[in-house]
Amino acid sequence: MNTVRGIAIVAGLFLLGTLLHRAGVPIPGGVLGLLLFYGALTAGLVKLQWVESAANLLLRHMVLLFVPLTVGLMEMGHVLSRQAFALTASLVVSFLAVLLTTGLLGRWLLPFAEEAEAEPCAEHDRAEAGR
């Protein structure tokens, strides 16, 4: 029941985001829905336990949702083979650039002193999972 309610909330916010996007907001509908959803969670309008199981379901099986688009690669052979080198180079260069920029910034900006906050949270999560 909770999952059904959660799905309805999430799908409703997506439709609302899409409407706003069509009305001229230059941010994609899904991301607008995400921002509205985050705002609603932060403001306490939507409780995490109403939506958690639905969100977990959608996120866990996200791969299923992009299978149909990926199957479309079967008609893209010519583009892919012509651009294979540019695509591979772009993939590897950009992957390493992002990984190292964020990793090294993290090493610099996130000092060890704050690591203490990891422990109580792990406990909290286990308690939550047991509920």
Partner 1 sequence: MSLIVWLRSPVFSVCLTVAAYAVALGLHRRWRWIPPIVAACLPIIALLLLVREPYAEYNRGGDLLTWWLGPATVALAVPIYRNGQRLRRSLPRLLGIVFAGAVVGMTTAGLTAWLLGAPTSVVMSVVPKSVTTPIAIEVCRELGGIPQITIAMVILAGVLGATFGPMVLRLAGVRDDRAIGVAVGSSSHGIGTASLVRRSEMQAAVSSWAMATSGVVTSLLAALLALFLR
Q: Confirm or reject binding of residue 63 to partner 1 (CB under 8 A).
A: yes
Minimum CB separation from partner 1 for residue 5, in Å?
13
For 66, phi then psi, to 5°, come to: -105, 10
Cβ proximity to partner 1: between 1 and 21 the closer is: 21
Minimum CB separation from partner 1 for residue 23, in Å?
15
Say if CB 19 and CB 30 are below 8 A apart.
no
Minimum CB separation from partner 1 for residue 68, in Å?
3
Tell me, residue by residue from 3 to 22, as one string, x for binding to partner 1 by CB under 8 A and - for no binding.
----x--xx-xx--xx----
Task: Report which DSSP code applies to 110.
Answer: S
Minimum CB separation from partner 1 for residue 119, in Å?
9
What is the C-alpha separation between 14 and 29, in angstroms, rounded?
Answer: 6
Cβ proximity to partner 1: between 1 and 67 the closer is: 67
Of 71-110, which residues contact partner 1 (CB under 8 A)?
Answer: 71-76, 79-80, 83, 85-87, 89-107, 109-110
For 26, phi then psi, to 5°, come to: -80, 15
Tell me, residue by residue from 35 to 54, as one string, x for binding to partner 1 by CB under 8 A and - for no binding.
xxxx--xx-----x--xx-x
C-alpha 15 chain-centroid distance: 17
Q: Confirm or reject binding of residue 129 to partner 1 (CB under 8 A).
A: no
Phi-psi region of 44 (alpha: psi -120 to 50; beta: other; left: phi over 0): left
CB neighbours of residue 33 within 10 Å: 23
